[in-house]
Structure 1
Amino acid sequence: MRTEVLPCYVVCDLSSSMADHVGELNLGLREFRAAVCADAPAAARTRVGVVGFAGIPRLLHPLRPITELPELTVPRPRVGTNFGLTFTFLRETIERDVRALKADQSLVRRPVVFFASDGRPTDPTTWPKAYDALADPRWPTRPRVVAYGIGVADRRTLGRIGVSGVFLGQDGIPVATALGVSVTRQATPEHV
């Protein structure tokens, strides 16, 4: 029997402007992991990868079962908030991961990307092209992208990114709630 897998990527802005919010992100990740793990079928199919970015993106945690979701470490201050490189890196990562899952005979649901940032890129004129490649409807593996605004977030930029949903911490929505809703939406039969 083929295993059903829901790939979920948590993409965290770890630039210097976000240093005060790492605790909030970690709390949200812990609560999200606990909520999903409380539902055995959801826990069995959910795989989570974590990407951190500032000037350049880094894979902090490869796609693994949600039970292995780690805490983020408080980064040293990093210069830049390069959205474009992050979206390009994310597309390459998703492509590689989905290919590997399919090679293992897994039935792969459409990936979810949870993009957490204050929405203030340092590459404001170039990131949209990289984002368009990530969200290209002709790409069969394109993810559903949900944006989460941390701190005093730029709603306009996050609205352009979160085409499958935008949540704002400044509106009182916790990280875990936004993450949970994002994954739950994907888990419904109409999104298979």
Structure 2
Amino acid sequence: MDHTGAKLLPFYLVIDVSWSMTQDHKLDAANRIVPALVDALARNPVLSDRVRFGLIDFADEARVRLPLCDLLAPGLQLPVLAAHGGGTSFAGAFTVLRREIEADVARLKADRYVVHRPAVWFISDGEPTDRGTIWRQAFEDLVSSPAFPNLVPCGVDRADLGVMGSLIHPSTGPKRMSLYMMEPDFSPAAAITGMQEILVSSMIQSGYGLANGGTGTILPARTALPAGIRQYDPADFV
């Protein structure tokens, strides 16, 4: 099939599955995210020609659980997230993510798609267990890659505000991204569900934006955020 000129926007979900995610029903909430994306695309099937989705989980190491794909593809089997380690390796997540994005973008361009800047939603409930120099170098390698993504960090439970805020990318310019954090004393599982709603909204808005001549990731309006979620902009960390 000739895809010359067809526009695609890749979305990736990179999610923490360390043992702490088994507490307070956080992993149960995380497992509802991808089915919610499938349902949203099923209600907006025209967007299946505009967006692709990939899933990476991470704990002591990062794993590709769903290679970049059309979520409405017949027979697609959705993975079930399960805890697989006590660590929280941000370095592993960023390294695997960079490898996948570079390979996916190269493959799609070889198929003659016009590939827009990938969007990454990075969800964690804690701080990285790698040394700071290691995970920060892996992050720098990711965002300095020619195929660097728009990265939207999302923190729940014990995630550190300063660490998560440092992951916003781009953090300057007209297309800067934002951070979403759970409000203090809110339910972590409910916060993950709220972040699911934000991701679904972004995918749908961005897909329609692309169909109408837009060029990238659209985040929902601050006034439309679910309860228990606070949005931070890069200027909040200056």
Q: Provide the TM-score with structure 1 as the length reference.
A: 0.87
1:45 is aligned, of 43, 46, 50, to 50
- 5+ long unaligned stretches in structure 1: none
Q: Is this contact kept in 2: 1:146–1:182, CA < 8 A?
A: no
Q: CA deviation at 1:74?
A: 2.5
Of 109-118 and 119-128, more deviation after overlay is shown by 119-128
| SS in structure 2 of the partner of residue 161 of structure 1 | coil
Tell me the distance in 2 between the aligned counterparts of 1:63 and 1:142. Answer: 16
User: Within 1, Cα distance between the matches of 2:165 and 2:48?
Assistant: 29
CA contact (8 A) 2:89 2:128 kept: yes
SS in 2 for 1:191: coil
Instruction: Write the mapping of 1:122-161 to structure 2, written as runs, cut at 5 A.
Output: 122-125=129-132, 126-136=134-144, 139-161=145-167
Partner SS for 1:35: helix
Aligned match of 1:65: 70
Identity of aligned residues (%): 30
The structural deviation recorded for 1:30 is 2.1
**C-alpha separation in 2, matches of 1:28 and 1:175:** 9
Query: Which one has the largest radius of gyration?
Result: 2
SS at match of 2:31: helix
User: Partners of 2:58 and 2:137 in 1: how far apart?
Assistant: 18
Residues 1:13 and 1:149: Cα distance change in structure 2 (over 3 Å): same
Aligned to 2:216: 191
Question: Which residue in the other structure is 1:84 paired with?
Answer: 91
Of 13, 18, 40, which residue of structure 2 is paired with 1:15?
A: 18
Asked if residue 114 in structure 1 is aligned to residue 121 in structure 2, the reply is yes
AA aligned to 2:50 is R
| Matched AA of 2:164 | L
- Aligned-partner residue type, residue 73 of structure 1: L
Tell me the matched-pair count: 189
Q: Tell me the amino acid that sits aligned with residue 166 of structure 1.
A: L
Equivalent position amino acid for 1:60 in 2: R
Offset at 1:71?
A: 4.3
CA distance in 2, matches of 1:27, 1:52: 14
Name the Cα RMSD after superposition. Answer: 2.2
